[in-house]
Amino acid sequence: MGARVGGQFDAVKMTGNTPPRKGRSTVASGGGGGGVEEAWLVAEAPVKKSHARAAECGVTVRFGHRGHFNWFVLLLLVLFIVLAVSITSNNDGSDGHEQREAATTVPPPPADDPADGEQVELVGECDMSSGRWVYDDVAYPLYEESACKFMSDQSACGKFGRTDLKYQHWKWQPHGCDLPRFDAARLLRRLRNKRLAFVGDSLNRNQWISMVCLIDTATPTLHKSMAGGNTSLVSFKIHEYNASVDFYWSPLLVESNSDDPVHHRVADRAVRAGSIARHARRWDDADVLVFNSYLWWRRPTMKVLRGSFEAAANAAAEGAHRAAYEVTDSLRAFELSIRTWSEWLELHVDRARTQLFFTSMSPTHLRSDEWEAGDDGASTNHQCYNETEPILAEGHRGRDTDPAFARAVEAEVARLAERGVAVRVLNVTQLSEHRKDAHPSVHRRQWSPPTAAEQAARARDPSSGADCIHWCLPGVPDVWNQMLYAHMAS
């Protein structure tokens, strides 16, 4: 779905900061700091000199009333010319100095490229999600991990000990066309004075970091900053373009008890399926929104609150016997929540301005028995641990990607289309299914020290601590953003 994207603190749109011009004086100073009186002296000097010379030559000069009037008019004319020349030269010099000073303190936005209106075109009828992985160690990766100043420890596999970097050199080749190469300059021209926001869970944050690195490494001379930290909204700003690329933590899209960006791993998960406004106010001004939500719903049941979390907490504190929620099938809770999301878009989105996207399910590789078996024919299960090659068999699909959730999203996208709201699904599921080699596995930051039991388990089986859900960067999410870029620029 086409969309805008949000982050983790209240994002503030930046506006151009052009220094105010100094007030121009309406009286010329003649360069010496004087005023009108000095101009009169300049005009009178030649008159006195010529009068004295006439006396020396024996010439008597008489002035009648008309002569006095003519000289007075002449003096006024000379004064007017002197004032005009003085004001013009003074203002030209002053303005030129101020403009140079502004250019050295506040860099102006880069000039528009005359080709900015040109569209990126795909050759023929092309389904970008249908294709194959091709090894390319010349053009890929699109950037170096260490070159991205804003790389996340969750995606920095090389930083945490991964030495086999072959996973970085695979190119996605759609059938019948080529993905356009990511052009950061063209994208930033599209994002001038705009906001791109990714809204969702840690997989959407994975895609957001990929986008940040794609932009950052391609524009080393631009002034960029990151703000938000451990808040729900994190904002990456490109100051010369007054553009922001944000991430907003909202793993279930609607309100939930997992909305804290740090303390969110809640076993007893609950949602307010009908409430999204508290989240939406953080990203409703975005020009491009990219949503996702899936893995946090992958459990048999989900609690759906009837009222607010505050009311439920108060009822529990008072020992109320009537439950403030109902327990339902997770797919049903997802369908209720995705309907709330689509209704909000229908009522509030600016259809002429906003591009909306929905990134499809990101697959996991938690069961290695899905792609291989032991020498004795018995199934193995080391997850994605030590995997260095993609699954090249066409059509592979793991058991953790439930098509029923995809159909629920597609149904809401179709309903929105009937109502004039265009949402494009970025179908990344099938192409990502093959990349068992591209997860952090054990090459990741440990966010909390392992317990004694975890240490013992990892000593017996190192794969037990593998992250087979998120993606190393550079890597698979860069392809997702190439697809997003192709849609945004076309």
Q: Is 264 helix (H, G, I), strand (E, B) or coil?
A: coil
In this structure, are strands 270-272 and 131-135 parallel, antiparallel, or unpaired?
Answer: unpaired
Q: Give the active site residues.
A: 202, 467, 470
Q: Which residue has the higher pLDDT, 20 or 271?
A: 271
**374's torsion region: left (phi>0), alpha (psi -120 to 50) or beta?**
beta
pLDDT of residue 13: 35
How would residue 146 be classed by pLDDT, with cut points 50, 70 and 90? very high
pLDDT of residue 105: 30
Nearest to 436 by CA among 375, 381, 482, 368: 368
Question: How far apart (Å, rounded) are the C-alpha atoms in residues 377 and 264?
Answer: 40
pLDDT of residue 394: 83
Mean pLDDT, the chain, rounded, equals 80
pLDDT of residue 272: 95
pLDDT of residue 463: 85
Domain definitions of the chain by residue range: 132-489
Secondary-structure percent of the chain, ordered helix, strand, coil, rounded to 5: 35, 15, 50
Query: Is the pLDDT confidence value at 354 over 60?
Result: yes
CATH H superfamily, domain 132-489: SGNH hydrolase (3.40.50.1110)
How would residue 81 be classed by pLDDT, with cut points 50, 70 and 90? low
Nearest to 356 by CA among 409, 296, 406: 409
pLDDT for 304-342, tens place per residue? 998 777 766 666 655 665 568 899 999 999 999 999 999
pLDDT of residue 56: 41
Nearest to 387 by CA among 429, 459, 435: 435
Question: How far apart (Å, rounded) are the C-alpha atoms in residues 275 and 296?
Answer: 17
pLDDT of residue 166: 97
pLDDT for 150-199, tens place per residue? 999 999 999 999 999 999 999 999 998 999 999 999 999 999 999 999 99
